């Protein structure tokens, strides 16, 4: 069975990867799951400088989902390159480095630094984190979205994935803008901004007031985001959002995703990525397909 997928010239041995910030590739998983099993690994989003993250409580369970206002704690790009990147690059699978910044210059600088290490295969622009002051705005403003992708593409030869926000009127338009700005792929979708209120304290539950909703609750929304973008763009889509089983992943691929990202479900079931890979393979076999690419987007036919 051929599970290979091609994302902007990078061959993934299978179409499954973690969503940024949900799987650290730490050795604590050694008895459970190995970082060389997914088709690619994805770093937590890297910034120029270190960040503490947001005040707790940072997570809140919701029906079939979870709100998070983690706020991307990170050691900063220099420490990342010294301490983490060699580890991530040592698993023999393509490495996606997620980056974000508060300015266009930050994105360009980070792209240059990451490329110069020679250890990254793909660059993901996190344009849509709802927990950053500027985070979601890049992906919600058509001009800004175009500008940041275009500029990053001018300064790097690394293939660029644009991770987009679902909190827009029509995400397929944003996918089209990302493509026209030169993005090599889009990742659809980041979390939805939402909140929970503690009725006893009569205050927002999360320390940062609002957070990003993820989990099975958003899966049908993510499938539609992929489906509606697929016919408008020709670059590959990494379908991410609420995948909790191989069935969810197959749905996403039939809707048009070339590959899938597993997010918060890594927290629920640390074996989910392995189960999705084997489930997709079994589905293809049971339905007499020879390769994963035969089913990409065929729900449109």
Partner 1 sequence: MKIKNNLIKPFLTEGRIKARKNEYTGYLDLLIENDKIAEHAMPGQFVMVRGWNSNDPILSRPFDIVQVDPANGLFRLVIKITGEGTGLLNVLRSGSRLVITGPLGNPVEVPHGEKIVLLVRGVGAAAVVYLAESAKNAGTEVYTFLSASAKNRLVCRDYLKNASKDLNIITDDGSDGYHGDARDILERFINKSKPDRIYTCGSGRFARFADEQDRKGLIKGFVFLESHMACGMGDCHGCAVKKRDSGGYYLVCKDGPVFPVNSVELD
Binding site for partner 1 (CB under 8 A): 21-24, 26-32, 52-53, 55-61, 63-66, 68, 70, 73, 215-216, 244, 264, 266-271
Q: Rounded CA gap, 105 and 79, in Å? A: 20
- Least distance to partner 1, CB of residue 15, Å: 21
Q: Which is nearer to partner 1, 11 or 55 (CB)?
A: 55
Closer by beta carbon to partner 1, 88 or else 111: 88
Q: Which is nearer to partner 1, 70 or 295 (CB)?
A: 70
Catalytic entry in 25, 60, 108, 129: 129
Please, which residue, 32 or 298, has the CB nearer to partner 1?
32
- Residue 129 known to be catalytic: yes
Closest distance of CB 279 from partner 1, Å: 16
Q: What is the C-alpha end-to-end distance of the chain, expressed in Å?
A: 23
CA angle 249, 253, 254 (to 5 degrees): 115
Q: How far is the CB of 92 from partner 1 (least distance, A)?
A: 21
Q: What are phi and psi of 107, to 5 degrees?
A: -60, -45
Q: Please name the residue ranges forming H helices in the chain.
A: 77-79, 85-88, 104-117, 135-140, 142-155, 171-180, 219-230, 246-255, 265-268, 272-286
C-alpha–C-alpha distance, residues 67 and 214, integer Å? 6
Bond before 164 cis per omega within 30 degrees: no
Number of alpha helices (DSSP H) and beta strands (DSSP E) in the chain: 10, 16
DSSP 19: P
Question: What is the smallest separation between the CB atom of 256 and partner 1, expressed in angstroms?
Answer: 24
Give the active site residues. Answer: 129
């Amino acid at each position: 069975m051929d599970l290979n997928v091609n994302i902007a010239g990078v061959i993934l041995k299978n179409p499954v990867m973690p969503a940024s910030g949900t799987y650290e590739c730490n050795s604590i998983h050694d008895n459970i799951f190995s970082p060389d099993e997914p088709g690619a690994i994805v770093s937590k989003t890297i910034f120029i400088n270190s960040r503490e993250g947001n005040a707790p409580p940072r997570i809140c369970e919701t029906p079939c989902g979870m709100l998070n206002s983690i706020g991307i704690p990170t050691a900063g790009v220099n420490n990342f390159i010294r301490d983490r990147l060699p580890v991530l690059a040592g698993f023999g699978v393509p490495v996606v480095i997620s980056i974000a910044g508060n300015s266009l210059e930050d994105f360009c600088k980070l792209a240059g630094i990451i490329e110069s290490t020679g250890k990254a295969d793909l660059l993901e622009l996190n344009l849509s984190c709802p927990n950053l002051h500027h985070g979601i705005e890049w992906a919600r403003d058509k001009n800004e979205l175009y500008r940041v992708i275009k500029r990053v593409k001018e300064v790097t030869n690394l293939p660029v994935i644009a991770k987009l926000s679902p909190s827009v009127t029509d995400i397929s338009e944003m996918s089209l803008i990302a493509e026209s700005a030169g993005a090599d792929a889009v990742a659809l979708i980041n979390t939805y901004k939402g909140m929970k209120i503690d009725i006893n304290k009569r205050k927002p539950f999360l320390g940062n007031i609002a957070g990003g909703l993820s989990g099975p609750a958003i899966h049908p929304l993510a499938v539609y985001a992929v489906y509606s973008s697929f016919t408008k763009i020709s670059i590959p889509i990494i379908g991410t959002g609420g995948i909790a089983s191989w069935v969810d992943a197959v749905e996403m691929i039939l809707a048009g995703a070339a590959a899938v990202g597993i997010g918060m479900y890594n927290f629920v079931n640390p074996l989910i990525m392995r189960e999705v890979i084997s489930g997709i393979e079994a589905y293809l076999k049971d339905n007499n397909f020879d390769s994963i690419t035969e089913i990409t987007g065929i729900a449109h036919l």
